[in-house]
Amino acid sequence: MNNYKRILLLCVGIMVLTMPVYAQSNAGSPNIDSLMSKKMSESGIVGLGAAIIVDKKVVWKKGYGFSDKQTGAAFTTSTLMNIASVSKTVTGACLMKAVEQGKISLDEDINKYLPFKIHNPYFPEEKISLRNLSTHTSGLTDRYPFYTDSLYFNGKDSPEPLGDFLKNYFIPGGKYYSKENFLNHKPGTFREYSNIGAALAGYIVEVRTGQKLNEYSKKYLFDPLRMDDTGWFMAEVNLKKHTKLYEKQDDKVREIPLYGCTTYPDGGVRTSVDNLSNFFICLLNNGKFKNRQVLKAETVEEMLRFQFNEANKPENVKPQSLNSGIFWATKMGATRIGHNGSDPGVRVFMLSDLNKEVGVILFVNTSLSEKEENKFFEIYEDLYQYGVKLKNNDLRNR
């Protein structure tokens, strides 16, 4: 053997010895499996799927329970489900891609982009920006119960065009217009979570790019991220892969119909744990996925950057306990970053620690009562701690 070959083999050996030894597993462990089974049995959860991401790689994934209780079909990490407000992170990524392309600015008056003009009747001269929309400081609010009672359509996608709905909601004389659609706060001065603000941001992306959000995200996100089973509407995904949805009421679990929503940019994405893992890795890895730069590093940096500080914050926010990126936020007392999602029959987590070392994606196809909401967080925390254990085991084995 010549010296060149010896050196080459030595280098390969060193690489093998120093590479992380994570082997992606869906086998679980007796401990995590028993924890999941116990929490599901206690709560009545029908099915769930999860993935753990350590150092930007999926190191564990598994499904539990059923996607269809009646037929006994298993819930797996390739099962499709609508992901509720975690969709806002996809809208945020589309927004930042449009910024990257020079089609919009986060700080321009949104009325520069819209085919109709929006003015808060309490502060008609104040500018509302996309940064306000994406940090929930726009002064535009979801009017309840109208928002939940009028925008969900059982068994089908919404028949009402997004732009028509928004115009009718925000423009005086529109059939949905009310002064109660606005807060008595100047933009940027008060934070109130706003689904309608996210819908408006998604619509602005559509107006400025000339593409519907589903087309734009497919071209710039879903295709390059190999999210082949992901879409925004029931009509564009394989419903045979879609989970049934369930709701627990009075200790009884019942199936509820699938549904579409008019304001789809705030919660319409349908995807799988496997597909969403690719998207999450891209964001945690400065816009890169499998050696492909899907979003520029500076684009992702701005999306994930904490926007609030003591000198620049809404009056009702303490940055040390709550902060916000572009449709991205701190959670659980500012110990995690990412997004959660909740809709009828749906609970979703996409959260990482602040250092982006351990991430968890969790899909649950069952709604629980408000008093049992803690069950979801317990399951998430069990998975997170298992992820920490996997990471620590790898460090010891290096």
The string of pLDDT tens digits covering residues 164-205 is 999 999 999 999 999 999 999 999 999 999 999 999 999 999
Q: Is the pLDDT of residue 24 over 60?
A: no
Task: Give the whole-angstrom CA distance, residue 125 versus residue 122.
Answer: 9
Task: Give the whole-angstrom CA distance, residue 44 versus residue 375.
Answer: 10
* Local confidence band at 394 (pLDDT 50, 70, 90 cut-offs): confident
- Note the pLDDT of residue 13: 38
Query: Among 124-138, 216-230, 382-396, which stretch is predicted with the lowest mean pLDDT?
Result: 382-396
Task: Give the whole-angstrom CA distance, residue 349 versus residue 341.
Answer: 6
Helical residues (DSSP H) of 116-185, grouped into ranges = 130-134, 146-150, 162-170
**Mind listing the pLDDT tens digit for each residue in 220-271?**
999 999 999 999 999 999 999 999 999 999 889 999 999 999 999 999 999 9
Please, which residues bridge with residue 350 across strands?
A: 339, 361
- Note the pLDDT of residue 29: 66
- What share of the chain has pLDDT > 70, as a percent? 91
* Local confidence band at 393 (pLDDT 50, 70, 90 cut-offs): confident
* Local confidence band at 217 (pLDDT 50, 70, 90 cut-offs): very high
For the segment 81-97, the average pLDDT, to the nearest whole number, is: 98
pTM recorded for the entire structure: 0.92
For the segment 23-36, the average pLDDT, to the nearest whole number, is: 72
* Local confidence band at 308 (pLDDT 50, 70, 90 cut-offs): very high
For the segment 94-104, the average pLDDT, to the nearest whole number, is: 98
Please, which residues bridge with residue 324 across strands?
A: 329
* Local confidence band at 148 (pLDDT 50, 70, 90 cut-offs): confident
Please, which residues bridge with residue 247 across strands?
A: 254, 367
**Mind listing the pLDDT tens digit for each residue in 107-119?**
999 999 999 999 9
Task: Give the whole-angstrom CA distance, residue 205 versus residue 33.
Answer: 42
Q: Is the pLDDT of residue 37 over 80?
A: yes
Query: Among 145-149, 273-277, 322-326, 355-359, which stretch is predicted with the lowest mean pLDDT?
Result: 145-149
Q: Is the pLDDT of residue 15 over 50?
A: no
CB neighbours of 250 closer than 8 A, spacing ≥ 6?
A: none
CB neighbours of 254 closer than 8 A, spacing ≥ 6?
A: 246, 247
- Note the pLDDT of residue 26: 59
